[in-house]
Amino acid sequence: MIRIFVANLTHWDQRVCLRIFKWNGIRLFDGLMLAFSRLGDGYLYAIIGILVAWMDRANASVFWKTGVLAFAFELILYKLLKTKIKRTRPFHVIAEIKYLIKPPDEFSFPSGHTAAAFVMATLLSAFYPELSFYAYVSASLIGLSRVYNGVHYPTDVIAGSFLGTICALSSLFISM
């Protein structure tokens, strides 16, 4: 039963991954997906932290403490899962997929870019609810960009979104 479920999930994952990857070649999408993927590299999160410290001194200390804790949780769990699961990236498995950006490491599960994006989206939503929609749309586009650029499967991104959200919620629970 579990083998059948895993086989079906893998088949679905590969099919959807290839379908999304085939959107490549549309100039507007190519540029947007590259930009969103780069947004997930981490620099944006530091800039957001600096902006919070500058614009909202009342919440800056708690925001920073919660953020550091959430990103620490996310990084530890992300590394642990990557090294234990060792899932091969799509461009190694599906002949039609070529990576359009250099992957940061060897394995694909979970998506660290997506996990970090959802950490920040969850933190921003907790501290600044009016930004929730924009934060989660941006985090989702960062995740989609990782599939579009050939370095992740959809389930890598889904797992990354859950990982990031759980890490952020845990740190909010501890810090508040």
The token duo for 172 is: 């909010």
Note the pTM of the prediction, 2 decimals: 0.90
Which residue do the tokens 């919660």 mark? 66
Of 152, 168, 171, 172, the catalytic one is 152
Can 152 be counted among the known catalytic residues?
yes
Of 39, 113, 117, 157, the catalytic one is 113
The token duo for 151 is: 């370095």
Which residue do the tokens 């992957």 mark? 103
Can 11 be counted among the known catalytic residues?
no
For every one of its 176 residues, what pLDDT tens digit does the chain have, with 9 covering 90 and above?
Answer: 677 776 677 778 888 877 888 777 777 788 888 889 988 888 889 899 888 889 888 888 888 999 999 999 999 999 999 999 888 888 888 778 777 788 888 888 899 999 999 999 999 999 999 999 999 999 999 999 999 988 899 999 999 999 999 999 999 998 87
Give ∠ CA 82-12-135 in degrees, rounded to 5. 60
